[in-house]
Homo-oligomer: A and B are copies of this chain.
Amino acid sequence: MKCHSHKKDLKKEVETFLNKLRSSGSRITSQRKSMAREIIRFKGPFSAEQLHSKVQDEGVDLVTIYRSLSTFMELELLVSVDFQDGTLRYEYGSEKGEGHHHHIICKKCKKFEPLDFCVVQGQEQIIEKMGYSNVTHKLEFFGLCERCLV
């Protein structure tokens, strides 16, 4: 039951993703369909390499992944998340609006959990008064998870 409705949700979300792509004038290729599906399935931050491993069976090149990720970022379909380990992650969602959230990331194993609070957004107005426009923020928490503490 639950499983079936999840599948339906996925299909619907992929469709939403692709529609945003389409309406920007971009083309819907088979590679991008695969990417969209996996990006939504991740339900959290992922690296280019991780996405590649999910779609390389379908013949999607890593370079294509990088180029599409860059396109998706410009269209604000994705946000970037810095894990502080030299590899950039991406996550389905936009900087502003409902989905906005941050993470607690384990310094050692890089596992993460989303956080449902953000006390920072109010600060952006203060900074806009300082003379900056289009202000956003990046916030991540880092710690050692229980398993890695030992």
- A136 surroundings in chain B (CB, below 8 A): 141-143
The reply to whether the CB of A70 lies closer than 8 angstroms to some CB of chain B is no
Number of copies: 2
Interface string of A84-123 (1 = CB under 8 A from B): 1000000000000000000010110000010101011011
Is A6 positioned at the interface, with any CB of B under 8 Å from its CB? no
A interface list, Cβ under 8 A from B:
80, 82, 84, 104, 106-107, 113, 115, 117, 119-120, 122-124, 126-128, 130-146, 149
Q: Report yes or no: A120 in contact with B139, Cβ–Cβ below 8 A.
A: yes
Contact of A127 among B104, B107, B122, B146 (CB under 8 A): B104
The reply to whether A132 and B104 contact each other, CB–CB distance below 8 Å, is: yes
Using known A-B contacts A104-B130, A144-B132, determine if residue A82 contacts B84 with beta carbons closer than 8 Å. yes
Complex CA distance for A147 and B87, rounded to whole angstroms:
31
